[in-house]
Structure 1
Amino acid sequence: MKDWAPPLIASALFAFLSPGVILQMPGRYRPVDFMSMKTSGASIFVHAVLFGLLLMLFLVILQAHLYI
């Protein structure tokens, strides 16, 4: 029996936190830009930190498991 939570959570977070796809923090002209399809080095760093923190929250602190 395999635990499917880590790859599913990581894939969903990667899709939602890709800079410029849904939102970009910090934006080019505002603190948050929506659907800009552009990115910068600062936004890549912020999104990478958010990805790591949320992944640790779900997998280590909350211990999410999904057995199929």
Structure 2
Amino acid sequence: MADWGPVVIAVVLFVLLSPGLLFQIPGKSGRVVEFGNFHTSGISILVHAIIYFALITIFLIAIGVHIYTG
């Protein structure tokens, strides 16, 4: 049986945490958060990468999400 949990969690988090798609931390014009602006910066990429790493670690190691198929 294949374990699809890590794949599904990684793809969903990647889509949701793409800087500028849904939100961007920090914003371009001095704001803390901007929503749906489709812009990005180097610092926002770093912040989103740290958030992504923290969430994927929590979901895959601490909680242990598994989705088995076949």
Length-normalised TM-score, structure 1: 0.98
Instruction: Show structure 2 runs of 5+ residues with no match.
Output: none
Aligned residue for 2:49? 48
When the two structures are aligned, how many residues end up with a matched partner? 68
Length-normalised TM-score, structure 2: 0.95
Matches within 5 A, 1:7-46: 7-29=7-29, 30-46=31-47
Q: Does 1:65 align with 2:62?
A: no
RMSD value over aligned CA atoms?
Answer: 0.5
In 2, Cα distance between equivalents of 1:50 and 1:41: 14
Percent identity between the two aligned chains: 46
Measure how far apart 1:28 and its partner are.
1.2
Instruction: Show structure 1 runs of 5+ residues with no match.
Output: none
In 1, Cα distance between equivalents of 2:36 and 2:47: 16
